[in-house]
């Protein structure tokens, strides 16, 4: 366990200061988890402004939207970086329909576990208003599930906050947001919709297991 004296007032800190703390306290052992949504557009800008050689990783399920892969390439060009790609074992195209839990375990959870193996901390785009499961997310805290520190710098941000930051700085973002997709995942489990209601439509699922 990497030691960290958690600041008592961290919940009052602005996002940039939380990002800076994570980068300074865990040099080379912290990475931004990127799912190429608006939150990551914000965090990529913050992270690379502070550390041009920062580590960023993404989970490639092989079922991402073309717009997501295009943004992936654009981000690498803009910041002169290579995003670490983590992939799961090959699965049948129909596994999502027949056994979604197994699909998520193979395509998302196992690759994430590998991505976190050599890290002491990770940075995510979790916001408290995204779902009830995320309502109590701290800006910085110990991740019991993965046994490392987890920074959620945008925990108290809104959609409007994210878009204001993106537009002010003319940052690249996933163009699916312009088509009504507020939350973006795999092609077979994502529809346009407000918040996360477009994810796993028609099911009771609200999370894929990466954060809960």
Catalytic residue among 176, 208, 210, 211: 208
* CA distance linking residue 101 with residue 60, whole number of Å: 17
CB 157 within 8 A of CB 127: yes
Q: Is 208 a catalytic residue?
A: yes
Three-class secondary structure of residue 140 per DSSP: strand
* CA distance linking residue 51 with residue 185, whole number of Å: 27
Three-class secondary structure of residue 71 per DSSP: helix
* CA distance linking residue 91 with residue 2, whole number of Å: 35
Locate 47 and state its tokens: 């992270």
- Spatial CA neighbour of 42 closest among 155, 130, 125: 125
Could you give the residue numbers annotated as active site? 208
């Amino acid at each position: 366990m990497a030691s960290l004296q958690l600041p008592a007032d961290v919940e009052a800190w602005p996002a940039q200061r939380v990002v800076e703390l994570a980068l300074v306290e865990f040099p080379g052992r912290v990475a931004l988890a990127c799912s190429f949504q608006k939150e990551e557009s914000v965090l990529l800008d913050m992270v690379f402004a502070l550390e041009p050689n920062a580590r960023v990783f993404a989970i490639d399920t092989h079922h991402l939207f073309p717009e997501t892969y295009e943004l992936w390439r654009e981000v690498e060009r803009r910041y002169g970086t290579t995003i670490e790609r983590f992939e799961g074992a090959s699965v049948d195209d129909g596994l999502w329909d027949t056994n979604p839990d197994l699909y998520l375990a193979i395509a998302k959870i196992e690759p994430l576990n590998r991505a976190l193996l050599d890290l002491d901390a990770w940075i995510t785009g979790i916001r408290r208003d995204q779902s009830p499961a995320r309502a109590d997310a701290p800006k910085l805290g110990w991740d019991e599930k993965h046994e490392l520190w987890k920074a959620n710098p945008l925990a108290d941000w809104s959609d409007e906050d994210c878009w204001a930051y993106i537009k002010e700085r003319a940052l690249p973002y996933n163009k699916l947001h312009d088509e009504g997709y507020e939350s973006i995942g795999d092609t077979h489990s994502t529809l346009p919709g407000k918040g996360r209601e477009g994810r796993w439509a028609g099911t009771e699922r609200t999370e894929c297991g990466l954060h809960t």
